[in-house]
Amino acid sequence: GKYRVVSTKPMPGTRWINLLIQQDCRVEICTEKKTILSVEDILALIGDKCDGVIGQLTEDWGEVLFSALSRAGGKAFSNMAVGYNNVDVNAANKYGVAVGNTPGVLTETTAELAASLSLAAARRIVEADEFMRAGRYDGWLPNLFVGNLLKGQTVGVIGAGRIGSAYARMMVEGFKMNLIYFDLYQSTRLEKFVTAYGEFLKANGEAPVTWRRASSMDEVLREADVISLHPVLDKTTFHLVNKESLKAMKKDAILINCSRGPVIDEAALVDHLRENPMFRVGLDVFEDEPYMKPGLADMKNAIIVPHIASASKWTREGMATLAALNVLGKIKGYPVWSDPNRVEPFLDENVSPPA
Ligand code: GLV
Ligand code: GLV
């Protein structure tokens, strides 16, 4: 291979490797056992000659790494993730390294986890499972694990991009929930979908579903029964859910986060969960990942999973393939396949698994 491409982690499937090998690339996959690589570890991987790197969201891609990659002749970096808050895109631009991410292929998989957490929280599935396994079930009772009915309630979505819109559609269509959403951009497709589904329900003699675009994030937090967070992490969304906004939410609301941990003030959330046993959360991400704030793991009203929202086989293979295409494209002199600077929030992706 003429080009040296490094992947900081083994990734699922073989398609991504084959794509690179077929196009004159030598692929080096880091087999280091520790989960999170340090900047020093990655510097050693880059070495003296490296044309492109596929990296992970656990890594800190800033000045140090992009200047080293540039010195090694590198032109391309792809995060194997849609989020790229771990990447300093300005630093990459400064050193002439193109950056890619992997949107689209993880939209439905991630939305499905947000929906799973919503249902699990509403119906207290994890608590109930623990109860069974502990041998505590000694007969049906009217008050045993009573939860929330979603039908007719309001689902709130903050960040109605690809994932947020997919989640909203699932909850509206699947459970006949009304929608309130906040996004700087209007999601016309989503609004049309809810309107059309509402008309369908009405024509069948059922209560129609409704939608509303909120004028602030707080409005969604205050009014919705189930709230799912899908914004990008930046200064405007850091601790978007904090002590005050938690207080303004319904006492029995359900809060879901499959975006980035720092969107929630996690210490304030732990206090709120302790003081409000009817309030429930489903969390896929944490403020100081991989750590949790003290007390969170003891809360029965919290469901916690280890950042697995995009973890379906098809999606993870797709993310690896897209990351390889990003790097390969740039090496071959094309634009990166997926450039996070090119924001297309309402793209009709229509990505579906191969038959
Ligand atoms: C995962 O968190 C991603 O951003 O793809
Ligand atoms: C519960 O199991 C019921 O039959 O209502």
* pLDDT tens track for 289-320: 999 999 999 999 999 999 999 999 999 999 99
**Is residue 139 domain-shared with residue 207, that is, in the same domain?**
yes
Domain that holds residue 268: 107-304
CA 155 – ligand 2 centroid, Å: 27
Nearest-CA residue for atom 5 of ligand 1: 81
Ligand 1 within 6 A of CB of 312: no
- ipTM here: 0.68
| Residue 175's CATH number | 3.40.50.720
Please indicate whether residue 57, judged by its CB atom, sits closer than 6 Å to ligand 1.
Answer: yes
Instruction: Please check whether residue 336 lies inside any domain of the structure.
Output: no
Confirm whether 272 is a catalytic residue.
no
Residue nearest to atom 3 of ligand 1 (CA): 81
- Give the closest residue to 145 by CA, choosing from 132, 129, 169, 128: 128
Of the bound ligands, which one is closest to the alpha carbon of residue 142?
2
At residue 1, the pLDDT reads: 87
Domain-located, residue 82: yes
pLDDT tens digits for the chain (355 residues)? 899 999 999 999 999 999 999 999 999 999 999 999 999 999 999 999 999 999 999 999 999 999 999 999 999 999 999 999 999 999 999 999 999 999 999 999 999 999 999 999 999 999 999 999 999 999 999 999 999 999 999 999 999 999 999 999 999 999 999 999 999 999 999 999 999 999 999 999 999 999 999 999 999 999 999 999 999 999 999 999 999 999 999 999 999 999 999 999 999 999 999 999 999 999 999 999 999 999 999 999 999 999 999 999 999 999 999 999 999 999 998 777 677 665 443 333 444 443 3
C-alpha 114 – ligand 2 centre gap (Å): 28
Residues 82 and 218 in one domain: no
The answer on 274 and 160 residing in a single domain is yes
Take atom 4 of ligand 1 and give the residue whose Cα is closest.
83
Whether 342 is in a domain gets the answer no
Q: How far is CA 54 from the centre of its chain?
A: 19
**Residue 238: partners with Cβ closer than 8 Å, 6 or more residues away:** 262, 263
Q: Please state whether 285 falls in left (phi above 0), alpha (psi between -120 and 50) or beta.
A: beta
- Reading the block at residue 344, the tokens are 């297309």
Going from the Cα of 306 to the center of ligand 1, the distance in angstroms, rounded, reads 12
The answer on 209 and 297 residing in a single domain is: yes
Task: Let me know whether 31 and 86 are in one domain.
Answer: yes
How far apart are the two ends of the chain, measured CA to CA in Å? Answer: 32
- My answer on whether 168 and 261 are in the same domain is yes
How far is 110 from 99, CA to CA, in rounded Å? 22
Measured CA to CA, the distance from residue 303 to residue 118 in angstroms comes to 10
pLDDT of the residue at 341: 61
Strand residues in the chain grouped as ranges (E): 3-7, 25-29, 52-55, 76-79, 98-100, 154-158, 178-182, 211-213, 226-229, 254-257, 280-283, 302-304
> Is residue 339 in a domain?
no
**Centre of ligand 2 from the C-alpha of residue 266, in Å:** 38
- Ligand 2 centroid–CA 13 distance in Å is 45
CA-wise closest residue to 327 among 23, 93, 58? 23
147 and 291 co-located in one domain: yes
Residues 286, 189: one domain?
Answer: yes
Is 353 within a domain?
no
Identify whether the C-beta of residue 9 lies closer than 8 Å to the C-beta of residue 29: yes
Domain count, the chain: 2
Q: Is residue 213 annotated as a catalytic residue, yes or no?
A: no
Inter-CA distances, 324 with 53, 84, 196, Å: 9, 16, 39
Q: Of all atoms in ligand 1, which is nearest to the CA of residue 285?
A: 2
Measured from the Cα of 259, ligand 1's closest atom is: 2
Ligand 1 atom nearest the C-alpha of 260 is: 2
Partners of residue 281 on adjacent β-strands: 255, 302
Closest CA to ligand 1's atom 1 = 81
Q: Which residue, 280, 243, 289, is CA-closest to 262?
A: 289
Nearest to 63 by CA among 100, 88, 26, 39: 88
Nearest to 9 by CA among 65, 56, 62, 74: 56
To the query of whether residue 239 is one of the catalytic residues in this protein, the response is: no
The CA 310 to ligand 1 mean position distance, Å, reads 7
**198-201 long-range contacts, CB within 8 A, separation 24+:** 201/176
Closest CA to 60 of 12, 104, 8: 8
What is the predicted pLDDT for the residue at 342?
52
Distance CA(202)–CA(237), nearest Å, equals 37
Of 95, 82, 32, 19, the residue nearest 56 (C-alpha): 82
Question: How far, in whole angstroms, is CA 33 from its chain's centroid?
Answer: 25
Q: Is residue 354 part of a domain?
A: no
Same domain for 97 and 114, yes or no, is: no
Among 11, 54, 56, 57, which is best to mutate for testing ligand 1, by the most ligand atoms less than 8 A from CB? Answer: 57
User: Does any ligand 1 atom lie closer than 6 A to the CB of residue 318?
Assistant: no
- Cβ–ligand 1 distance for 340 under 6 Å, the answer no
Residue 18 in domain? yes
Residue 344 falls inside a structural domain:
no
Report pLDDT for 311: 98
- Residue given tokens 């800190």 in the structure block: 60
> Which of these is catalytic: 124, 162, 230, 260?
260
Shared domain check, 176 and 126: yes
Q: Mark whether 115 and 222 lie in a shared domain.
A: yes
Q: Is the CB of 87 within 6 Å of ligand 1?
A: no
Q: Note whether 87 and 152 are same-domain residues.
A: no
